[in-house]
Amino acid sequence: MSVSRRSFLQAAASVVAGASTAGAAALAGTPRKAGEAGPLYPAEDLSLFDAAITPRPFALRLGYAAITWAGQDEQAIDDIAAAGFHGIQLRSGVLEKYGDRPAELRRRLEDKGLALLCFSSGNSPEAAPEREAEYIRKHVANARFVKALGGSTLQIISSRPKDRAPTPAEYEWLGRLLNAIGRLTLDIGVRVAYHNHLNGFGEAPDELARVMDVTDRHYVDLLLDVAHYAQGGGDPVAAVVRHRDRLALLHLKDVAGAAPPPGRPQREGYQWVELGRGRIDLKGVIGALRETRYRGPAVIELDAVPEPGRTPRESAEINRRYAVDALGLLP
């Protein structure tokens, strides 16, 4: 049978119109008549889309840093667990003993009920483009170690040039380096977290913001140390809000001594102390975390025992009591 072009187009239009009508009826939930084809998809109740989605609530996982034990990592693991914590941050010094035996260290952590919340991968020295490959190999290897321990966060600190601020070109270099490391560690299942620190590129508030600007949020997170931020001339409560979209981890830390002049970092005349014994508004920090619905780890860090005769475990117990009783946190 011969079909003209006009007849074919008219027939095709009729099919499309019929399908559109059937589709509209199906979406509207119109009952079908006897003999009609059923809808392609059943009618849906769209009233649920009128309800607002409730954001997930604040949730903080508390841990403790082994730095106070000055390299005595086995003792740190034992004491941190005995003090009632269930998370820990280890430093790269453990690589000397366990670098080729991560399974042994993982068993030790698991036996004590400790999860690795963060691993300090050490500093990347001053801007040195000729050493980029070396830095990348080091941190990527450390990320594999972290993964073998069951961890997922790698802390990296930068080193500030001596006696001057970093140049714009040096910031760009650091950004490229961190992005390159972060891309590779992400393939392993470990994320890079840049740690603001005195004598680092991110020492002062605007400097930390610049590091965040030159890094890609897909590859680089922020580990906000509230005491280093304050000693660098900033307000850590405001920092939680300012960097809420990049914040993956916190160091809960306190510092005693004179506050730096406005806008000027102070690198001397201060002492790291147990929580609640310095001038950091820790209650304000936790309040800001609750308001921003932070969900992630926080590690209590104390570089060294501040009082002669006190042990690292005793300092950990002091910190735990303050975290629970004053801050309302669960270890």
- Are 93 and 235 in the same domain? yes
- For the chain, helix (H) and strand (E) counts, in that order, are 11, 10
Question: Residue 177 in contact with residue 132, Cβ under 8 Å?
Answer: yes
φ, ψ at 37 (rounded to 5°): -70, 145
Residue 55 covered by a domain: no
Question: Residue 68 in contact with residue 303, Cβ under 8 Å?
Answer: yes
Question: Residue 286 in contact with residue 329, Cβ under 8 Å?
Answer: yes
Please choose, from the candidates 170, 168, 156, 162, the residue with its C-alpha nearest in 3D space to the C-alpha of residue 127. 170
Identify the pLDDT of residue 190. 98
Give the angle 277-61-148 at the CA atoms, nearest 5°: 120
Residue 56 covered by a domain: no
Residue 133 covered by a domain: yes
Residue 188 covered by a domain: yes
Give the model confidence (pLDDT) of 73-112 as tens digits: 999 999 999 999 999 999 999 999 999 999 999 999 999 9
Is residue 147's pLDDT more than 60? yes
- Are 118 and 171 in the same domain? yes
The DSSP symbol for 84 reads T
Q: What percent of the chain has pLDDT over 70?
A: 82
Is residue 24's pLDDT more than 70? no
Question: Residue 25 — pLDDT band, cuts 50, 70, 90?
Answer: very low
Q: What DSSP line would sit under 197-233, residue for residue?
A: -TTSTT-SHHHHHHHHHHS-TTTEEEEEEHHHHHHTT
Between residues 1 and 210, the one the model is more confident about: 210
- The CATH number of the domain holding residue 106 is 3.20.20.150
- Are 44 and 77 in the same domain? no
Is residue 218's pLDDT more than 50? yes
Identify the pLDDT of residue 1. 45
Reduced to 3 states (helix: H, G, I; strand: E, B; else coil), residue 298 is strand
Residue 250 covered by a domain: yes
Q: Report the run of H or E that residue 110 belongs to, with start and end.
A: helix 102-111
- Are 158 and 209 in the same domain? yes
C-alpha dihedral sign at 311, 315, 318, 324: negative
Alpha carbons within 13 angstroms on the beta-carbon side of residue 21 total 9
CA distance 139 to 147: 12
Question: Residue 260 — pLDDT band, cuts 50, 70, 90?
Answer: confident
Residue 240 covered by a domain: yes
- Are 34 and 147 in the same domain? no
- Are 165 and 40 in the same domain? no
Question: Residue 267 — pLDDT band, cuts 50, 70, 90?
Answer: confident
Identify the pLDDT of residue 48. 54
Question: Residue 62 in contact with residue 85, Cβ under 8 Å?
Answer: yes
- Are 244 and 185 in the same domain? yes
- Are 253 and 231 in the same domain? yes
Is residue 300's pLDDT more than 90? yes
Question: Residue 208 in contact with residue 229, Cβ under 8 Å?
Answer: yes
Identify the pLDDT of residue 128. 82
Reduced to 3 states (helix: H, G, I; strand: E, B; else coil), residue 62 is strand
Q: For 213-235, what is the mean pLDDT?
A: 97
- Are 12 and 120 in the same domain? no
Question: Residue 119 in contact with residue 90, Cβ under 8 Å?
Answer: yes
Tally of domains within the chain: 2
- Are 42 and 144 in the same domain? no
Question: Residue 222 in contact with residue 246, Cβ under 8 Å?
Answer: yes
Residue 17 covered by a domain: yes
Give the model confidence (pLDDT) of 12-21 as tens digits: 444 444 444 4
State the pTM of this model. 0.83
Question: Residue 42 — pLDDT band, cuts 50, 70, 90?
Answer: low
Alpha carbons within 13 angstroms on the beta-carbon side of residue 295 total 5
Question: Residue 104 in contact with residue 179, Cβ under 8 Å?
Answer: no
Q: What DSSP line would sit under 228-249, residue for residue?
A: HHHHTT--HHHHHHHTTTTEEE
- Are 85 and 37 in the same domain? no
φ, ψ at 300 (rounded to 5°): -75, 130
Site of tokens 């147990």: 274
Q: Of 63-67, 129-133, 221-225, where does mean pLDDT reach its minimum?
A: 129-133
- Are 143 and 257 in the same domain? yes
Identify the pLDDT of residue 21. 43
CB neighbours of residue 206 within 10 Å: 12
Reduced to 3 states (helix: H, G, I; strand: E, B; else coil), residue 270 is strand
Identify the pLDDT of residue 127. 78
Domain that holds residue 112: 61-325
Residue 304 covered by a domain: yes
